[in-house]
Amino acid sequence: MSDINWRLAARSLKRDLRAAVVRALFVALVLAVAASTMIAFFLDRLERGLERQAGQMLGGDLVLEQRDPFPEELRNTLEQASFKLSDQVDLVSMISQGERFQPASLKAVDDVYPHYGVSHVDRGNGVEQIASGPPAGEAWADPRLAELIEIEIGDRVQVGQTELTISGIIEREADQSAGFGNFNPRLMLNTADLEATGLVQPGFAH
C-alpha cells in the first residue's frame, strides 16, 4: 500500500472515530471484553472454592466405602497413580465408663487423617485446630457423649475389650461424615487400637 493510501486510510479512521456511534461501539466492545474476563475469573474462583470445601467435608479428594477391607491390588493401583491413602473404619458399639453405658458411633482413623482441613478439639487448654486424629491409646469424644456418660479429659472408657484415655473433646471434625451412625454421639480413636477392641471380627457369607 502506498503512502497516499496509508494517509487516506488513517484520515478515514480518524473521521470514523469522531462519530458517536463508533465511539459507543468501541466502549461497548471494551466493556464486553472486561465483563467476560471478570466472569471467567469469578467462575474459576468459585470452582476452586467449591472443590476446596468439598475436599474439607470429605477429608480428602475421593472417598471409597465398602463393608469389607479393600484388596491390596486396588491399594497398589491407587498408590502407583500417586494417590495418598488413608484408612478409616466407622461402626456403632456400646462404650462404658464405670456403671454408665452408651451406644456411640466409633470412628477409627489412621495417622494420615485428614488429608484436608483440621479438627477443632479441646485437649484441656481451650479449643485447638489439629490436623490429625488421636494417637494410639487415646480417644476423642464429642460434647454429647461426654455429657451422657459424664466423662472428662483424662478419664478412661471401655471400648469393646480395651480401655482408652479420653484426651480431647471434639467441637468439630475435619470431615463431617453423614449416615445413620451420626444419630449416636461420637468417639474418635486410632485404627492402631481397633484390633484390641475386638469389635471387628471376620464374618461368614451365606
Q: How is the chain split into domains, by residue range?
A: 3-57, 86-197
Question: Who's near 180: CB < 8 A, 6+ residues apart?
Answer: none
Helices (H), 59-174: 72-80, 143-148
Q: Using one digit for the tens of pLDDT, what is the confidence trace for 1-41?
A: 556 666 666 666 666 656 666 666 767 777 777 777 777 76
Separation between Cα atoms, residue 147 and residue 132, nearest integer Å: 24
Under 8 Å between Cβ of 174 and 56: yes
- List b or e across 107-141, with b for residues whose CB sees 16 or more CB atoms inside 10 angstroms: bbbbebbbbbbebbbbeeeeeeebebbbeeebbbb
The grid cell for 184 is 449416636
| Lowest-confidence segment of 62-66, 76-80, 143-147, 199-203 by average pLDDT | 62-66
What pTM, to 2 d.p., does this model score? 0.66
The grid cell for 59 is 477429608
| Lowest-confidence segment of 27-36, 46-55, 155-164 by average pLDDT | 46-55
Predicted pLDDT of residue 86:
80
